[in-house]
Amino acid sequence: MTPERIRQAVVLAVADAVRVDPSTVEGIPSLLDLPGFDSITVVTVLERLEDAFGLEVPAESIVPEAFESVSTLTGLIAGALADAGATGSVPPPVRSRM
């Protein structure tokens, strides 16, 4: 799984959850600046990414700092994939419903 594929899935999951264009998510320095990005959105995004990648992020890794930006959230998912030893088939990216 390449970091770019993970990043793409993160961008699409966040964009879909807050109902904005993916380019808006890509261009914002902090996810916390997105309208509607709150604790419920965090849970929604995390669940979508866990489903998309077939993993469960360890509870101790779910900290506010992990949801500050696309890069930090990508790192959270990449770390969980590495910890799970996920290799082999690449899941499809999360599709935006915009």
> Does domain 3-84 correspond to CATH entry 3.40.220.10?
no
Give this prediction's pTM.
Answer: 0.84
Single-letter code of the amino acid located at 34: L
Residue range 76-96, pLDDT digits in tens = 999 999 988 854 444 455 555
Residue range 29-60, pLDDT digits in tens = 999 999 999 999 999 999 999 999 999 999 99
What lies within 8 Å, CB to CB, of 24 at 6+ separation is 15, 34
Residue of 79, 75, 73 lying closest to 42 (CA atoms): 73
